Structure 1
Amino acid sequence: MGVLGRYNFSELLFGGLVQLITLPYHRFFTYNTLRPIQEVLRHASTGVQPDSPDRRELHAVLVGWRTRKKDELGFVAVAATVMTAIDTASFSWGNVATSHWVGPAFWYAALTTSVFGIFLAAQQLSLLSLMGELPEDHAATSARVMTRHLGQVLGRKKRKGAGAATGDGEAAGQDLSYTDSWVLNWRLIFNWQCPMMFIAYSTLFYIVGLTVVACTPLLTEEWGNTDTYVSVAYLVSLGLSLALFALCSLGYNKISMHGDEDGPDETDGAATAADDVVAVADAARKDEHP
């Protein structure tokens, strides 16, 4: 079993389901949402206070997460706007009226998801702006500011600290940040990845609808008609495009989320589906056992 043997069936099942749902945009989900939040969690427990040993690392991963997320949301807003225009223009084609009803139905679904993607991306960009930028110097960032930013990506659970256990009220007050346990919150993870999910599924719905519209002549007309040749040409181009897309999407090497730090290089080797399943299973385990 190797690495997978460390996880129970429910954790692997959850990881597999997440990867299946996010398959149309799994690189965006992995490197712009899940793994950056995991990196934030890794330093959150001991990086809030100004004198914390992980303060610099926590500040860096929070800034990196905000930068990647803002870039992603900007892309989603533009892409969803373009997809909305494409969907709207497609309804004017003459063969839409004679195509199977499934094609236009998927186009309406694509239009709906792209519109919601635009508004949700704008909403999240506004939220990031309201939160404000983190100061460039990690030492100039107050514990309250760090906590406010952490609260947008992680959940929080209360637990007794060393000071509270000994009855030393002053010590308990000093250790407050260390007695609060930060955990992964899958609701927040879903929220932050949702705009990309909207545009990814909008594109998928459009392609499915386009395939139905383009291939309807194969079902309704005799072979040899010009429209049937067009349908075959479309299927060939679609197959080649999907093959190249899959090859390029799955062919990247592993990417380290903290590659600027000294230490072993994590970028060697191809990133596999098993690696992504393990990443989600590990996140599920940390969520259950903080």
Structure 2
Amino acid sequence: MAVAPYQDSTIKQFLTEKDPSRRSVLTKLWLESKISELGIVSVTSALLIATFCATFSWYNTSASPWSALACWTSGLVIAVGSLGTAAQQTLSLNHLKSYPGFENEICDYVGHDATNTAGNTVRQPAYSRIYILQIPVMMLKLSFVLFLVGLGLAVWDASIKRGRNSAESKIAVAYTITVIFVGINYAISSIFLYRKTSKVKAA
């Protein structure tokens, strides 16, 4: 859950742009994209919060191991934190847009002066600031993982208690296969999109 490559390359693009007018355009495009991203995170976090809350009602939580409940409870809190952080950042960025010359303010916030190998001063992304801007997305991903881990702990605990030939054991195997399938496809999708984005930036 480190800084996403596309964030680094996009920010570096407008930080190092020499033409002021083009830098302004690139900064505005990045800002609009970031606000849209936060909107998606807010909606997804709200849906995930509803999923966590529903889990406590339809699943027999009293028979679940404490580790599963700990994952679900922690995931719920993190999802709420993701929603709140995304909303706060959206409000702040929209408020920033109302000021003249906000493009320069954004460049100052996400970038810093650094010295390259030739001894020249260049603008580079400030990774601590980029990390802050990615907190909603990272918390959302973590809450997804905690939900799946908690569900896995619950179904496998039931499988162990009921025995190898029980229906619970078959459910646990089916769940594991499904999670592996989803994880592989998620990884393929993410890698493809990141590589595609890198090629577009390089062009």
What range describes the TM-score normalised by the shorter chain of this pair? 0.7 to 0.9
Following superposition, which runs of at least 4 residues in structure 1 exceed 3 angstroms of deviation?
Answer: 180-183, 256-259
Who is 2:169 aligned against?
A: 228
Summarize deviations over 1:50-85 as a string: whole Å, max 9, x none. xxxx11221122012101101110001000001111
Describe how 1:196-235 pairs up with structure 2 within 5 A: 196-235=137-176
Between the aligned partners of 1:147 and 1:251, the Cα distance in structure 2 is 33
Residue identity opposite 2:12 in structure 1: Q
Deviation at 1:234, TM superposition (A): 1.3
Distance 1:248 1:145 in 2: 34
Query: How many Å apart are 1:189 and its aligned residue?
Result: 0.9
1:38 is matched with: 12
Question: What code does the residue aligned with 1:250 have?
Answer: I
Q: Deviations over 1:110-158 (max 9, x none)?
A: 1011101111111111111111168xxxxxxx7x54422322322358x
Partner of 1:185: 126
Distance 1:257 1:148 in 2: 29
TM alignment of 1:1-290, pairs within 5 A: 21-22=1-2, 29-31=4-6, 33-43=7-17, 46=18, 54-132=19-97, 144-155=101-112, 182-252=123-193, 253-256=195-198, 266=203
Deviation of 1:251 after TM superposition, in Å, equals: 2.8
- Alignment check: 8 A CA contact 1:102 1:212 kept: yes
Q: Distance in 1 between the 2:184 and 2:122 partners?
A: 45
Task: Give the TM-score taking structure 2 as reference length.
Answer: 0.85
1:98, distance to aligned residue in structure 2 (A): 1.4
Unaligned runs of 5+ in 2: 115-120
Which deviates further from its counterpart, 203-212 or 250-259?
Answer: 250-259
Greater Cα shift, 101-110 or 54-63:
54-63
Q: Deviations over 1:175-195 (max 9, x none)?
A: xxxxx9644322211111111
Contact 2:162/2:169 (8 A) holds in 1: yes
Instruction: Kindly provide the CA deviation profile for residues 14-52 of structure 1, in whole angstroms up to 9, marking residues without a partner as x.
Output: xxxxxxx33xxx7xx222x32221112212xx4xxxxxx
Which position in structure 1 is the counterpart of 2:117?
none
Tell me how large the CA RMSD over aligned residues is. Answer: 2.5
In structure 1, the partner of 2:118 is: none
